Amino acid sequence: MLIERAYVDLPGGAGGAGDRGEWPWTVPCVRQLVEEGLEFRAPVTFLVGENGSGKSTLAEALAEGFGVDSYGGSAGYKYASSREASVLGGVLRFDPTRNGRRMLRGPRTRRRGFFLRAETALDALSRERQAQRLSQAPDDMSHGEGFLMAFRERFSQPGLYVMDEPEAALSFSSCLELVGLMDELGRGGAQVICATHSPLLTALPGAEIVEVGEHGLRRADWAELGLVDHWRRYLTDPQAYLRHVLMR
């Protein structure tokens, strides 16, 4: 692991954000992050929650705080996009492990990791190819194949790997391959933080799950997750759900 805790460093402390009354400080999970910080207790951490809960905001800020372009791509390189760091990412700080301290206190080129976000993955991977950090151009393959290429070629050493809904382009079998890769990375000294809606990914043994929502942030077990319960019920009886959305 590289990071034991993430926290927000604001002038005036937590009150500096609480008095603003504007996004992202109004998001419950961000307010809790400001007030308490977020501890990481396992090499792989999943952030789960409904759309709009703030899990993607957290994932992006964690990547930015580590020095990775919020648009996506490899750590250790200058920002390749025109995007500016988010308000939250600019004030996020870490309590690193000994290995993490070596990366964070050294030059930017010493940092290792990757940020993969579903919305910008194609452009980010194209830039990786232009920099000769990928063996093939993502335009020459399907979206899912491009994701898998990035996983196989760029997720290969100790570093911080942040993913935002990577399952968006993956088949069932490809998701299983990603689970195996996450486990391998965690066992090899890397750290993975993944925002996801996938009950398949979050079933990884030994991973920690943080549920994000109106309550803020809370630890959860896989079997207790709402997304797991809904998928189980839906696969058992689809009509129990579809009758509420189909006009028939």
Q: pLDDT for 111-126, tens place per residue?
A: 889 999 888 888 888 8
Q: What integer best gives the mean pLDDT of the chain?
A: 89
Peptide bond into 107 cis (omega under 30): no
> 15 falls in which pLDDT band (50, 70, 90)?
low
> 161 falls in which pLDDT band (50, 70, 90)?
very high
The whole-angstrom separation of Cα 192 and Cα 178 is 11
Looking at residue 110, what is its pLDDT?
Answer: 76
Enumerate the domain spans of the chain: 3-221
**pLDDT at residue 178 above 60?**
yes
Tokens 């129990």 locate to 240
- Please give the average per-residue pLDDT across 140-164, as a whole number: 91
**pLDDT at residue 32 above 70?**
yes
- Please give the average per-residue pLDDT across 12-23, as a whole number: 64
Amino acid symbol at 184: E
Under CATH, what is the fold of the domain 3-221?
Answer: Rossmann fold (3.40.50)
